[in-house]
Structure 1
Amino acid sequence: MFAKMDSLFGVLCLLLTLTAKGYCISCQLCVTSMAQSCTGVSVICPTDYVCAARYTNTIIGGSSTPVFSRSCSPPTNCNAAGSMTIPGGTVQTNATCCSTDNCVPPTPTLTAAPTSNSTNSTSAVNGVTCRSCATVNSDWCYTSDTIRCTGNELSCVMHSTKITGPQAVTMAVRGCATRSLCTLSTQSFSTSELSSVNTFVCTDGGVVLKSGLLTSMMVFFFCMYIL
């Protein structure tokens, strides 16, 4: 009887130890620009990560580039929906998660695309101005062009996407973004068939457009260093 109690106590201690150190689950890794679902290889995630599905849609000049992926993710990235306004278009993203081995997260949905800055009324301008650019076939862009932010897009962001494999995508954009996107930082994963790197680099605020020579000089020097 004592031997059985010792055995049960040992198992209990082991479970408590594993719980104290966190736990790992397995998730599928995949990415596609052709659909809102994909399947791939199963990998063991870092401790306390969950399985995530992310859907991002970039619209420039009326042309849409959707990207769907599944991967391991820290829980802080779950439900981190947000938007960007970029030259001539928008970027929207959202993520859903689940927390059991190889679970399938609900399909992320996007809200209606926000109105382009060029057509917004001046009353919607929030006082933040950011660098703006967009490029394909490169994960970096920079110009002297700026864009005035509107609504709740209070951060300046550079977002780059680089996917290698059968459906290769490389692009970079700068513009205004909701602060929720700035929590995403860099997300990457790779398999034997493909790799994906998504990076969000943000600064809070931007150039405040006001009249006056002193303000104009401050704007100029600030623009030289922002982002």
Structure 2
Amino acid sequence: MNSILCAFCMILALLRTGNCLSCTLCLVQGTTFCTGNNVTCDNGRVCISTHTVSTEDGIKKNEFFGRTCMPQHYCNNPGSFSTDKSNSRKGISCCETDNCVPPAPILPDVSDKPNGVICKTCTADDTEWCDTKQVKKCTGDENKCIVQIATMSGAVSRKTVLRGCATQSICNIGNETVTTDGISVIVSISCTDGCKSLYRGSSFQTLLAFALFLSLGCKN
């Protein structure tokens, strides 16, 4: 079945750019490397590694490393998002041959320089929404307002929602799902330009799409 699918992808590649690669799928917590089963990517996707580190009040709280397939234009485009008390940084690296191992992802730098954007900020557990009058002055390249809903199930179960500031690259992710080794993580992201109209990032084809029409923005 995989050989037929790849042959079909190769035909499509003659008509438009793209690849049909075999890539590793895995997700681990607390380390920076993982191995898993190989999967056949959709046309135009490449093998990627992602490294995400989250801190709270300056102390590292979570660290995740994963490998999967991703559209090529997401490669080497790190990003970050922040609330009033927490910060998460994500590095992404890619390679473009069957079962290749991408180089170690590089996390973006942390900046405390205000950029003029102000977003509402809050976090909550076991829910898909939080609202607040509290605001955050965004810094560095985090010039979008974000709502992120994260649901983890399986060996570890947790649901959280946060609002704050984010880079454009994080907003572009849209929705993301990774399932491996008994853990499933579903992340849904929606962003706005401050008080302007809603921006919804494009989602990965293999990811679960949430219909989010959540209003974000500056404090009136």
Q: TM-score range by the shorter chain?
A: 0.7 to 0.9
Q: Which has the larger radius of gyration?
A: 1
How many corresponding residue pairs?
A: 190
- Mark the CA change 1:42 to 1:139 in structure 2 (over 3 Å): closer, same or farther: farther
Partner residue, 2:52:
56
Contact 1:129 1:206 in 2 (8 A): no
Contact 1:136 1:170 in 2 (8 A): yes
Shift of the alpha carbon at 1:47? 0.9
Distance in 2, Cα, partners of 1:42 & 1:146: 43
Shift of the alpha carbon at 1:98? 0.7
- Mark the CA change 1:153 to 1:163 in structure 2 (over 3 Å): closer, same or farther: same
Cα-to-partner distance string for 1:151-203 (whole Å, 9 max, x where unaligned):
33211012233333334454332111122222111122335733222232111
Q: TM-score, normalised by structure 1?
A: 0.72
Shift of the alpha carbon at 1:77? 1.4
Partner secondary structure for residue 160 of structure 1: strand
Gaps of 5+ in 1: 1-13, 116-123, 208-223
Q: Does 1:145 align with 2:134?
A: yes
Q: Where does structure 1 differ by over 6 angstroms across 4 or more consecutive aligned residues?
A: none
Cα-to-partner distance string for 1:20-76 (whole Å, 9 max, x where unaligned):
254411111111112111111111111111111111111113242111111111112
Contact 2:129 2:161 in 1 (8 A): yes
When you count strand as a share of all residues, which structure comes out higher?
2
Partner residue, 2:29:
33
Gaps of 5+ in 2: 1-7, 197-213
Q: TM-score, normalised by structure 2?
A: 0.74
Distance in 1, Cα, partners of 2:110 & 2:128: 23
> Which residue, out of 39, 42, 45, partners 2:38?
42
Distance in 2, Cα, partners of 1:198 & 1:63: 20
Q: Does 1:163 align with 2:152?
A: yes
When you count helix as a share of all residues, which structure comes out higher?
1
